[in-house]
Structure 1
């Protein structure tokens, strides 16, 4: 046994020395560990997305279906309700690649591929600060941030988010915030920034609110020119500044293209009723900002308590935040308030669902998890700064435990953990609906009109109990080949006749 231990150490000694010697490798290794654990957490939060393979809303109708009928790049550059969804289409394309690796020429594994991509994507969202912000936040707090972020509250609405691609847009705003923070506070001069700005371009073309974050990257250059008196000739040669200009030009051109194509469609009749100002405090503060730390006791709150708790929290931020992190706090609060206000502007009808803190707090959770992630980040950063003022290790550990208790005391209520509030079993899984569609000869032409000789097959998907009929349209040949691969051809085609 002892010899086995020695041989193991000898075999991996070079890798261990490499990780210990170079901080970048150590940080990347820590990120991979956190990423793996977070992926498992998201799987266990909603395993039904993988166990019960179905297509849900835009995943099938607007992303996967068009990829198979029109092609990836045509779908990628097509606007969705007036704006681009680059991130959604890219993740859908990745799901298709994973499906082809395991089941080439077959589409039946695709809903599970989407679930895998979704679990990994949200794990990336939760753990991205571990990879990028180690210069601002200590490693053990970054790991804790990743853990807490992996449990952002969705309550019974997790089936709409985890394991799906259709609602990732809100997470792209948080990704953009982390990227901007890294760009401003962690890299001063590096060609790596071109990759960061490419990712920001992707984020902005997935969630339009990201456009409002981009101007913040110029504050450091304004400071250099007007306060530090740095000559502009020096700044304009900085690759970070050059990349910022290129990013801004491309976003400006993209914004003009979207604007000329028509204003963003707010989907008439969908959450567009007048804003209910009597619910403003609950919606804008309690649900959007405080919810990650109050959701277990949400029903005991009212507007007065919400204002008191929020005021107390702001006072703690003012008293205990470190001067070195003032810029990061300012960026975080700007992102949080911007996202919250824009959500209220574009979805004013969300204010109707609140019932004086007695309604279902998880209802429409997909519209709030982006703000909740930002709030989690800021509060964890605050605990990090408070800990830096404490000398005794025992007290710092107690503070860490207190933070974990505040965030995770209600962990069992943040998700369904395999008991979804909407099981999605009424029309069967995707394989069953595909076979049924073939037997019913639901063939359509390129325009979506029923045609017994049509080259495409229209298949109903979830949700089913809505005013809008959700379907996915795929090539008829692909559908038939998928059934053949599952050994269903004889049974299904005999019914088709």
Structure 2
């Protein structure tokens, strides 16, 4: 047995698998540090919950086709489904640990993209440069919106364009069948419609190097699959023609959208607010010149092919981003903000990847080209190291996309609602106003396992004075004004919080509905002490 184990772990394939696992763990840790909120505040965001509700109330097959009115989101739904499985395994319920499971798969997905960038450049770049590519794609700047990206599944679709590009490049280098790559390519096409166009375009891109019969053998199945997916999307758009193009075009913001935010942002993010159209055009021309010079001096045919594919992907992606999301020219203007960053992160990662590949490959060229490549790499690395404190937001993100109620709190509140005629109830999500329609029996089953309090947690409000019933400006909290609470929470008594810390009650005040309880010490931290109905009096006078 010892010999067999030693043989297994010494094999090339086993070492590769272990290396990938180690890189995924490392990458996930980096992303978690970039935004720790998903690990400290368990809430469900936007479509992550809406799609779950569709699946649980209408069934997975209905959701696969109808989750979005104008395109498909099969990649997103795959991870939503996997999150329900993980929650069911670890918490014996598909809902109770759903936010934590979503966070896990989100970190896994974004980590996998960076690992793919590393392995796609095997034999193309020096090992050190491949690690720079790996780390840099983990640290893509996201404006103030990392809280909308990391720990969420709803926005992963924007990275599928790069995934498609890299996988077709990898596929073009292989001489054997690639069923796993083909499956992921079709999944990508059924997640981001840009990938549908891109897969067909890049497949044709490889035709001059192969005869038609070989091309059919290699890309025939993918082409047929893409045409089938395209037909489904066409009929969906035909059924809802107003859904395709969003907003109206604002010409004066075109430079900011198409150049500043989509092209040069990863290299100017520390001083984005100081930019102007003139500066952006100059910097964009400088970056294009740098890329052009490095590409012209590139001697590796495979590197040129990879960068040409990336350029094709970028142009197609940018066109559809600007055309299909014309509202971006209305939202952005004057370099005051970069939100919504999600629409540009897929474009940004293509630019960063392409620049680093060209600069890294240039280190093997002539002396003059090596100097350009080395200068580019050093400048890029210095930029990101110098701004690492901004890139890593930690537990407190610059923009809060969630609130103080956890998903379990929201399940408890929803369980108190009456069901509609179809047996469903609405579970609140974030941002405020978003709802998931879930069968009441599923919510009630989860609420029973959570052991919810027999009251609506929405009583404990969050506003300028309170955080879920915990005072923001003084040490204390409020409770329902009941005879039981009046008898228990008295001056001089000691309150114990769920985190096992204690405070002494120094004063109380009452109104018709509430009891305000003042305790000694510093202001209470809501995330640590929890909701007031869970507090108990352990030493009563």
Question: TM-score, structure 1 length as denominator?
Answer: 0.83
* 1:100 CA drift (Å): 1.0
SS at 1:108 equivalent: coil
Matches within 5 A, 1:92-111: 92-105=80-93, 107-111=95-99
Q: 2-side partners of 1:327 and 1:417: how far apart?
A: 38
The answer to which structure, 1 or 2, has the higher relative contact order (CA under 8 A, 6+ apart) is 1
1:56-88 per-position Cα deviation (integer Å, ceiling 9, x unaligned): 111111x21122223333322335122111001
Q: 1-side partners of 2:358 and 2:418: how far apart?
A: 57
Corresponding residue number in structure 1 for 2:509: none
- Tell me which of 76, 79, 82 is aligned to 1:88: 76
1:304-355 per-position Cα deviation (integer Å, ceiling 9, x unaligned): 2222222222222232331322221111111112111110001111012333
Q: 2-side partners of 1:349 and 1:45: how far apart?
A: 29
Matches within 5 A, 1:172-251: 172-184=160-172, 186-187=173-174, 189-191=175-177, 193-214=178-199, 215-225=201-211, 232=212, 236=213, 238=214, 241-251=216-226
Contact 1:106 1:481 in 2 (8 A): no
Contact 2:8 2:14 in 1 (8 A): no
Q: 1-side partners of 2:309 and 2:346: how far apart?
A: 15
- Tell me which of 21, 24, 27 is aligned to 1:38: 27
Corresponding residue number in structure 1 for 2:288: 314
* 1:223 CA drift (Å): 3.5
Q: Which structure is larger by alpha-carbon Rg, 1 or 2?
A: 2
Corresponding residue number in structure 2 for 1:292: 266
Structure 1 residues 397 and 344: CA distance shift in structure 2, 3 A: closer
Structure 1 residues 360 and 415: CA distance shift in structure 2, 3 A: farther
Structure 1 residues 300 and 484: CA distance shift in structure 2, 3 A: same
1:412 aligns with 2:386: no
* 1:491 CA drift (Å): 5.9
Worse overlay, 328-337 or 71-80: 71-80
Worse overlay, 308-317 or 377-386: 308-317
* 1:376 CA drift (Å): 0.9
1:435-465 per-position Cα deviation (integer Å, ceiling 9, x unaligned): 12223x242233xxxxxxxx2221111111x
Contact 2:93 2:446 in 1 (8 A): yes
1:165 aligns with 2:153: yes
Worse overlay, 213-222 or 399-408: 399-408
- Tell me which of 120, 124, 148 is aligned to 2:136: 148
Q: Which runs of 5+ in 2 are unaligned?
A: 460-541
Q: 1-side partners of 2:253 and 2:153: how far apart?
A: 30
Contact 2:33 2:393 in 1 (8 A): no
Q: 2-side partners of 1:367 and 1:304: how far apart?
A: 23
Aligned residues: 450
1:369 aligns with 2:345: yes
SS at 2:145 equivalent: helix
SS at 1:143 equivalent: helix
* 1:120 CA drift (Å): 0.9
SS at 1:368 equivalent: helix
Bigger helix fraction: 1
SS at 1:262 equivalent: helix
Matches within 5 A, 1:319-468: 319-321=293-295, 322-324=298-300, 325-357=303-335, 359-361=336-338, 363-389=339-365, 400-414=377-391, 416-423=393-400, 426=403, 428-439=405-416, 441-446=417-422, 455-464=423-432
1:193-245 per-position Cα deviation (integer Å, ceiling 9, x unaligned): 222111111001100011221222223223334xxxxxx5xxx2x4x642411
Structure 1 residues 107 and 257: CA distance shift in structure 2, 3 A: closer
Contact 1:31 1:130 in 2 (8 A): no
Q: 1-side partners of 2:34 and 2:400: how far apart?
A: 14
Corresponding residue number in structure 1 for 2:41: 52
Q: 1-side partners of 2:86 and 2:230: how far apart?
A: 32
Question: TM-score, structure 2 length as denominator?
Answer: 0.76
SS at 1:83 equivalent: coil
Q: 2-side partners of 1:133 and 1:475: how far apart?
A: 47
1:116 aligns with 2:104: yes
Structure 1 residues 301 and 489: CA distance shift in structure 2, 3 A: closer
Q: 2-side partners of 1:266 and 1:118: how far apart?
A: 31
